[in-house]
Amino acid sequence: GRAQGLPRVVKRRINALKNLQAEYAQIEAQFYRDLYGLETKYAAFYQPLFDKRSDIINAIYEPTEDECQWEVGIQKGVCEATESEPEGKPPVNGIPRFWLTAFKNIKILRKLIQENDELILAHLKDVKIKFSGVEEPMSFTIEFVFMSTEYFFNKVLTKTYHMRSHPDDSDPFFSRGPEIISSSGCKIYWKQGKNVTMKTLNLQQCAGHGSVVPTRSKVPSRSFFTYFYPPDSPQGRLLGVAVDYKLAYIFRELLIPKPVLFFTKEAIECNSDEEGHEAGGEEGKKEDKNEEPEGGPKKNLILVEDSTG
């Protein structure tokens, strides 16, 4: 690096700065712990809103006329009072396929969710996040709460992400902050013949002399539910660690806090890996892009102009 060409006295001073930088990292780790405490505190403040949201989605609570007035929406023509119900159809309870629809408006999830998965995810009642206690090792758990399904016996599927919360020898500068270091899922108790993470292949095995013996073999199948499998299992390996950790971010920062904006497509991911960069990477456009966090953490959504206005 740069330090190689410097006089020895300067290199010594650089080392002194690196020691200060390691001290900084110790204080910064405490900052992140306080921030974590702040997040768990606010999680409790958000919970009543999330509970009410769940009650509306699952037809436990019917919002009043007042609660359904969306002023900004009315101007944009989202709430057409003149529209009449189609006749002869049964009444719709709650908001069907709410979470599945929101999921599918995020590209990485859309690619992961297969046809069979949709049949199951249509029964998703709620998606929650639980933080570990401030004194415990830092972790958070995503809970997927299901109505009873014909696919598995579990009512709740969980995925836990474990985080590094302090600098260590591998990174005394704590340069990545409190990153995820591992994840663990849960065992899914599939009902007979309903395991969508495995598929049956019908093979024809050569028995020599031109005769074939039909055999069947179970192999891992692409499915959203591989998300819950250990990363070293045949199913878990299909997902990959990078996608696994990215899903943590998507559930924690986007889908659990603001799912309705994904349901309506009013928000999209502000994510260079996703929608953005695929359109092309011309040099000249760079200054117009706005992918950087600007002054604060958690800038992850951008609002899309409603084209119906």
Does 134 bind a copy of itself (CB under 8 A)? Our answer is no
- Select from 46, 130, 187, 203 the one that contacts a copy of itself (CB under 8 A): 46
- Select from 40, 78, 190, 222 the one that contacts a copy of itself (CB under 8 A): 78
Q: Restricting to residues 55-74, which ones interact with a copy of itself according to CB under 8 A?
A: 56-57, 62-63, 67-70, 72-73
Q: How far is the CB of 244 from a copy of itself (least distance, A)?
A: 10
Give me 100's structure tokens: 């599945």
Q: Of the two residues 202 and 308, which places its CB atom closer to a copy of itself in the complex?
A: 308
Stretch that binds a copy of itself, among 42-50, 148-156, 192-200, 203-211 (CB under 8 A): 42-50
- Select from 5, 88, 91, 208 the one that contacts a copy of itself (CB under 8 A): 91
Which pairs with CB-CB distance under 8 Å and at least 24 residues apart come from 260-264? 260/53, 260/102, 261/301, 261/303, 262/102, 262/103, 262/105, 262/106, 263/95, 263/98, 263/101, 263/102, 263/105, 264/78
Name the burial class of residue 235, with classes exposed (0-12), middle (13-18) and buried (19+) by CB atoms within 10 angstroms of its CB.
buried
Stretch that binds a copy of itself, among 45-53, 141-149, 194-202, 229-237 (CB under 8 A): 45-53
Distance of alpha carbon 304 from alpha carbon 309, whole angstroms:
12
Q: Restricting to residues 12-41, which ones interact with a copy of itself according to CB under 8 A?
A: 12-21, 23-24, 27-28, 30-32, 34-36, 38-39
Distance of alpha carbon 56 from alpha carbon 43, whole angstroms:
20
154: Cβ contacts below 8 Å, ≥ 6 apart: 146, 186, 188, 189
Does 293 bind a copy of itself (CB under 8 A)? Our answer is yes
Q: Restricting to residues 213-242, which ones interact with a copy of itself according to CB under 8 A?
A: 240, 242
